Amino acid sequence: MKLIALIIVLMIAVLSVVTTVTPGSRNYKKKNPVVEVAEIGKEFAKPLAQVDQIGPELEKVLDGAGVKLPAIAVGKLDKEEDLKHAVQDFNGSVFSNLDLPKTNFASSYVSNAQFDQALLDGASLEGATGDMVNFNGARMAKANLNASMFRNSDFSGAELREAKARAGDFTDSQFIDADLSFSSFAGAKLAKTDFRAAYGAGASFIGADMTGAHFEGADFTGVRFSAATLDKAIFTGANLKAATFDGARLHGADLSAAVNLSTEQLAKACISADTKLPEGVTAPRC
């Protein structure tokens, strides 16, 4: 309230000074310039001294009239801590081929944005939301995509080595020929996602929903599919050497042409009558 009072009083003071020192005005009196400057200073000093008195009175008047003024957080927008969480709208923006390592896109809106061939190593897209986003060929090593939502998006040829995408939503997206090595998609939604020819050695898909996903020709050596839902997923030609499926559900999945898959790997998995396995490989039905 003091700030508002100060603004009002200063406006009055400025008007008073202008009419006093401006030639042609009714109150103008020709004086020595030094004297004029001193008097101007006195004029501006008066409102400053009156603010403490006027502020409370102004507040009483406004309250009586039922007027509520919003609080003014002076300097708040200058704080980096407050700004870094600000939601930004990048829908339709073009970042193609740009060098943006460690850039903060957290909680941003990026639908239809273009990040193809961009350098995004270590960038934060945590909580970002966007449909049909183009990350084709982007470098995203160690990027943070936790809790992000990129449905119908294209990560084909992207490098996501050691990226974190836990609890993200990538439904209907494409990771064709992408590098997902040692990345984490634990708890992510990856239904109908295309991983054909992807390289995902050491990646984690623990608890992920990968219903209807495609893994044709992918190298998923040492991947962790524990507790994942892989119903109707297709693994034709996929290298599954040392991959773990403990607690995974594979109802209706096609693993008949998977490479390096053994009975031991599926000992704790759950298949159905229509699940297709390589010749000689068995798994429990449940």
Find the mean pLDDT for residues 260-284.
98
pLDDT of residue 147: 99
The answer to whether residue 256 is domain-embedded is no
The answer to whether residue 27 is domain-embedded is yes
The answer to whether residue 50 is domain-embedded is yes
The answer to whether residue 26 is domain-embedded is yes
Find the mean pLDDT for residues 39-56.
48
The answer to whether residue 8 is domain-embedded is yes
**pLDDT tens column, 64-91:** 444 333 333 333 334 444 434 456 999 9
Say whether pLDDT at 11 is over 80: no
The answer to whether residue 29 is domain-embedded is yes
pLDDT grade, residue 8 (50/70/90)? low
Say whether pLDDT at 203 is over 50: yes
The answer to whether residue 28 is domain-embedded is yes
Separation between Cα atoms, residue 18 and residue 25, nearest integer Å: 9
pLDDT grade, residue 270 (50/70/90)? very high
Separation between Cα atoms, residue 106 and residue 164, nearest integer Å: 13
Find the mean pLDDT for residues 132-155.
99
Find the mean pLDDT for residues 104-130.
98
Domain total of the chain: 1
Considering the chain, what is the average pLDDT of its residues? 82
SS (H, E, C) the chain: CHHHHHHHHHHHHHHHHHHHHCCCCCCCCCCCHHHHHHHHHHHHHHHHHHHHHHHHHHHHHHHHCCCCCCCCCCCHHHCHHHHCCCCCECCCCECCCCECCCCECCCCECCCCECCCCECCCCECCCCECCCCECCCCECCCCECCCCECCCCECCCCECCCCECCCCECCCCECCCCECCCCECCCCECCCCECCCCECCCCECCCCECCCCECCCCECCCCECCCCECCCCECCCCECCCCECCCCEECCCECCCCECCCCHHHCCCEECCCCECCCCCCCCEC
**pLDDT tens column, 144-202:** 999 999 999 999 999 999 999 999 999 999 999 999 999 999 999 999 999 999 999 99
Please give the residue range of the domain that contains residue 48: 2-64
User: Which of 80-84, 110-114, 241-245 has the least mean pLDDT?
Assistant: 80-84
Find the mean pLDDT for residues 199-209.
99
- pTM score: 0.71
Say whether pLDDT at 49 is over 90: no
The answer to whether residue 6 is domain-embedded is yes
SS (H, E, C) 206-242: CCCECCCCECCCCECCCCECCCCECCCCECCCCECCC
pLDDT of residue 18: 45
pLDDT of residue 46: 52
pLDDT of residue 39: 52
Q: Which two tokens stand for residue 258?
A: 């998977």
